Structure 1
């Protein structure tokens, strides 16, 4: 009986390994930043007056810059806007999209190292925690991994470095 049980367990383990491996070959979802944000992005209670699901309909003026983010003909995006109208959240949507759908190395530059640490703790960590696809791809910085610290977030296909 023990041999049958161990064989069944080995088959089960192999099936799980194959299933996880196949996920790595799955093509990315064909989706825009706006669609990704509406589908996956969750606004954290500590950073939003309206926590919960991101709704682009609340900020229609952000659609064009978010669309420009994935347009290969556009190399620079300039946004002129008043304060407190969603620009940082728009950038966070672009960041989340890039990590989840179009991974590669990303550098997030702030004026000082203290600003980078503060922004990572107050904005990026809550976004990762509250947005399921990001949480699935990035280990918490409390883990012992040197690849995932306050200023470095490793994910399949890339790494976010904050400076």
Structure 2
């Protein structure tokens, strides 16, 4: 089948593979080896530019896809509430465990092949690596981001003549003045 999909790619034919009721896969394939073989097939499919893969499954089975972590770029946050995915389209996406997209970022220049939450930062830092040779650390610590933002804006708020007196004090008491 991969041979045919690659021929379609060379002919610039878009092929859509739809796996409806995908949760049945987990009933039919209980052993890791047979799952891994199919996951590898899916990974190869999504790397072909003219192939789109659609998995349709019940919401309560989305967590089963986390076992793909060994063969595809998925990781879950330490608290188990967020899934991060890497993609051939150069994006890093954050998902709720129910499958709802939270955020999509495209900062890499080539395919992203790995994502991992930092266990030491309580899941507030995500690392992504791509074929462009870069590793990006994504900071999700909102307190830290607020401090950094205020440190960056502080001079602007104090010196810009177009800022209201009330707005000049937005960052008072937040972080340290450098």
TM over 0.5: no
**Higher helix fraction (1 or 2):** 1
**Higher strand fraction (1 or 2):** 2
Between structure 1 and structure 2, the one with the greater Rg is: 2
TM-score normalised by L of structure 1: 0.30
Q: Which has the higher contact order (CA 8 A, sep 6+)?
A: 1
